[in-house]
Amino acid sequence: MRFSEVDSLRYVWHGHYVKYFEDGREAFGREFNLGYMQMYDHGFATPLIRVEVDYKQPLFYGDEAIIETQYVDSAAAKIIFQFKIFRKSTMELVAAGKTVQIFTNKDGELELTMPAFFKEWKNQVLNTD
């Protein structure tokens, strides 16, 4: 962890874990062709509507972390990810969490049905119907 991410006691500030989830979502998007700009190119934004964090162990200055990101399939027009953050040196689970994103059009209006490009992505990547 970087010095700018810790408090005076060398603990990583709790709010940074949400940023680490973002790192996990972006890495997932690069690996599985579901990046924010790809969605935007299809005419959609995906704002967060829920973030859950369960803190298990603190991270400290100098720790390296591994972020596991798992897509959770849903029939609804939303994107759900679950996360696990591990301390690299010991592989201790330091935090777990979940994010939920919805689809809006470029004007910020909620999309109630799953966008066609996302259905296609799910069919290709998850082999679902």
Residue 44 falls inside a structural domain = yes
Q: Specify if 129 maps to a domain.
A: no
Kindly report the three-state secondary structure assignment for every residue of 72-128.
ECCCCCEEEEEEEEEECCCCEEEEEEEEEEECEECCCCECCCCCHHHHHHHHHHHCC
The range of the structural domain enclosing residue 34 comes to 3-122
Q: Is residue 26 in a domain?
A: yes
> Does residue 27 sit within a domain?
yes
* CA–CA gap between residue 111 and residue 92 (Å, rounded): 39
Count structural domains, the chain: 1
Q: Is residue 128 part of a domain?
A: no
CATH label of the domain that carries residue 97: 3.10.129.10
3 or 102: which carries more pLDDT confidence?
102
The predicted pLDDT at position 104 comes to 97
- Kindly report, residue by residue over 24-60, the tens digit of the pLDDT: 999 999 999 999 999 999 999 999 999 999 999 999 9
Q: Tell me if 40 is assigned to some domain.
A: yes
| Domain assignment of residue 127, yes or no | no
> What's the pLDDT score for residue 15?
87
Q: How confident is the prediction for the chain on average, in pLDDT?
A: 91
Residue 67's SS3 state is strand
The CB-side HSE value for 112 (13 A sphere, CA atoms) comes to 0
